[in-house]
Copies of this chain bind each other. A is one copy, B any other.
Amino acid sequence: MRPSGRAPDEMRAITIETGYTRHAEGSVLVSFGDTRVLCTASVEKGVPPWLRGKGEGWVTGEYGMLPRATHTRGNREAARGKQSGRTQEIQRLIGRSLRSVVDLKALGERQITLDCDVLQADGGTRTASISGAWVALRLAVDGLLRDKLIKTDPIAQKIAAISCGIHNGTPVLDLDYDEDSNAQADANFVLTGDGKLAEVQATAEGATFDEEELLRLLRLARIGCNGIFAAQDAAVDKVRAA
């Protein structure tokens, strides 16, 4: 039995609110249950120094968590003077995941930064970030296409991410904080709209796991990502229809 009473393959409620802030080229407030992340896509001319002159663009991610997004207040990273290893690991994952579905040549010499800031945390903040950031990116790129700044759509696929884990011996989908802090194993999957894998990160927390368990977690992730893809489509369609 899961602490939340959910079935093993049951996601939390997903909401994707577009246009949450007005300055960003794409802006989304994504919620997976009580986990709430503000994702913005910022389009800027130019690329990092090591890419200059190659006619390619760049997509990158940054991640932060407000000090009181969590049960107990955490230190503000800006005040401590550095980002934690966890933060850096997550923002590298966000950038890598989104680049895996973007044709950087088609983007031209511009950079899109996906800022994912966690307003409230209840497990799964990195996967919510990726799932929401894709929508922000999609909306920002729609703007570039609409303004004829780029000719061909550089986004090849949708991308979504979800965490699964083995909790009380049972593989379960979409861990919340209570489950996450007690899981024997924890896996984050990043899947594309055509069912391919962009990233698998499975970690033994209290007990190692076997190949069969890995595959069962992947199967749950497919269920979860299908739900996320639907929510992404709905959010994008609503904006496009407006």
Q: Complex formed: what's the CA distance from A89 to B201 in Å?
A: 12
> Judging by beta carbons under 8 Å apart, are A70 and B209 in contact?
no
> Judging by beta carbons under 8 Å apart, are B196 and A117 in contact?
no
On whether A38 and B119 interact (CB within 8 A), knowing A85-B92, A88-B85, A196-B209, the answer reads yes
Q: Write out, one digit per residue, whether chain A residues 65-82 have a CB within 8 A of any chain B CB (1) or not (0).
A: 011111111001111011
A106 at the A/B interface (Cβ < 8 Å)? no
CB distance from A71 to the nearest CB of B (A): 5
Q: Which of A1-25 contact B (CB under 8 A)?
A: 21-24
> Judging by beta carbons under 8 Å apart, are A68 and B215 in contact?
no
Count chain A residues whose beta carbon lies closer than 8 angstroms to a beta carbon of B: 63
Residues of the B chain whose Cβ atoms lie less than 8 Å from the Cβ of A204: 100, 196-199
> Judging by beta carbons under 8 Å apart, are B202 and A197 in contact?
yes
A163 at the A/B interface (Cβ < 8 Å)? no
Where chain A touches its partner, the secondary structure class is: mixed
Q: Which of A196-229 contact B (CB under 8 A)?
A: 196-204, 208-211, 214-215, 218
Residues of the B chain whose Cβ atoms lie less than 8 Å from the Cβ of A36: 21
Each complex incorporates copies of this chain amounting to 6
Q: Which of A179-204 contact B (CB under 8 A)?
A: 187, 192, 195-204
Q: Complex formed: what's the CA distance from A204 to B184 in Å?
A: 26
Leading 8 A-B pairs by shortest Cβ distance: A85-B88, A196-B208, A77-B78, A42-B73, A40-B68, A200-B202, A78-B78, A24-B68
**Known contacts A78-B87, A211-B215, then 11 further A-B pairs from the complex at CB < 8 Å, ordered by chain A residue:** A23-B71, A40-B66, A44-B73, A64-B78, A76-B115, A192-B208, A196-B209, A197-B209, A197-B210, A200-B201, A200-B202
Chain A interfacial positions (CB closer than 8 Å to B): 21-24, 27, 34, 36, 38, 40, 42, 44, 62, 64, 66-73, 76-79, 81-83, 85-89, 91-92, 96, 100-101, 113, 115, 117, 119-120, 157, 187, 192, 195-204, 208-211, 214-215, 218
